[in-house]
Amino acid sequence: MTSAVRFKNVCRHFGAIRAVDGLNLEIAPGEFFALLGPSGSGKTTSLRLIAGFERPTAGHIEIFGERADAIPPYRRNVNTVFQDYALFPHLSVLENVAYGLKMKGVAKKQRLARAEELLELVQLPGYGDRSPAKLSGGQRQRVALARALVNEPKVLLLDEPLGALDLKLREQMQEELKSLQKRLAITFVFVTHDQGEALSMADRIAVFNEGKIMQVGTPEEIYRAPRSRFVADFVGSSNVLPPDLVERLTGTRAWASLRPEAVRLVSRGGHSATLVSSSFLGAQRRAVFDFDGFQITALLAADAKLPEPGKTARLAWGESDLHLMEDEPVDGPEGAA
């Protein structure tokens, strides 16, 4: 099957800065794919390379099997939704949505009718005559989506489109975006630095750092089986255990990830640890323990019976919860015992 988007040994350098460094990646048709990473990791540059706003220093990109090197942005079958939405303030909502069709020379009656259909799709029927300035942040985001979709792109690029919304509205829009993508069955490529967004929305995730992809996988794979300390630490929260401690626990010298929710209190067996501190989080309680000279964080039920700070408790976790990570060096200074 032809990939919707394919990066083949793609580099994008800005002088000495390697914003994207030897990227190989395939995104399937109809996939909701997230590019996740901190600021400066290369995820937004990768999105801009797909859109044609940047050109590779080396390598090439294919969109549905066609090399995109010589195709200008306006001729690529992709559209982009930006974080600031970039709506035209002097046009009505309906005219904003219809703008792409106008640029293609579609007759006014047809393009306005199609724009009305898109407003229905994004749950904004009857909003066509309004000015963008009269809309809420969530409504402007929907208008930007409708405008990007009106030309029926094969790939929709979303550059942190929820970043300007408050938490409650952002969570609502996450569900709406995911539902919309499933109904349309087109490829969404979504850039975010928010791990929760990526985990809750994407079919697969590529985790970026310093211009490279650290890991690609489903949300479950990325969360439960991180390959590196960076992925374990960046995606959610994790206890990243050093090789000397892991060797004492398992007999294998490697870095390991242990998620806080996998740690539980037991009355017997397990491992002895000293409570350092605890914090009430509402439905849960976060507790920090000193374990063999290393701090381990546990997420426990809010009513968990904890000892006083400085007193001991017994901790346990499942064998499969301690995930060994294979690609971190253990022979250098950081891995030395």
- Reading the block at residue 112, the tokens are 């306005």
CA atoms 226, 44, 26, 32: torsion sign: positive
CA atoms 94, 95, 99, 102: torsion sign: positive
Question: 3-state class of 274 per DSSP?
Answer: strand
CATH classification for the domain delimited by 237-325, as one of 3.40.190.100, 1.10.340.30, 2.40.50.140, 3.20.20.80: 2.40.50.140
Counting beta carbons within 10 angstroms of the beta carbon of residue 251, is it exposed (0 to 12), middle (13 to 18) or buried (19 or more)? Answer: exposed
pLDDT of residue 198: 93
- Reading the block at residue 141, the tokens are 């985001």
- The structural domains of the chain, with segments of one domain joined by +, span 5-226, 237-325
The pTM is what?
A: 0.87
Residues 158, 35: Cα–Cα separation, whole Å: 10
Which residues of the chain carry a pLDDT beneath 70?
164, 327-337
Nearest CA to 290 among 312, 306, 260, 307?
312
Q: Does the domain spanning 5-226 belong to CATH 3.40.50.300?
A: yes
| Residue bearing tokens 């992925």 | 231
Question: Could you tell me which residues come within 8 angstroms of residue 117 by beta carbon, excluding any fewer than 6 positions away?
Answer: none
Give me the helix-helix angle, 93-103 and 137-149, nearest 10°: 20
pLDDT in tens, 127-140: 999 999 888 888 88
Question: Could you tell me which residues come within 8 angstroms of residue 320 by beta carbon, excluding any fewer than 6 positions away?
Answer: none
pLDDT of residue 103: 87
Residues 100, 277: Cα–Cα separation, whole Å: 57
DSSP strand E in the chain: where? 5-14, 17-27, 32-36, 58-63, 66-67, 78-81, 155-159, 187-192, 204-209, 212-217, 239-241, 255-258, 264-266, 271-280, 284-291, 294-301, 312-316, 323-325
Question: Could you tell me which residues come within 8 angstroms of residue 95 by beta carbon, excluding any fewer than 6 positions away?
Answer: 88, 115
pLDDT of residue 333: 36
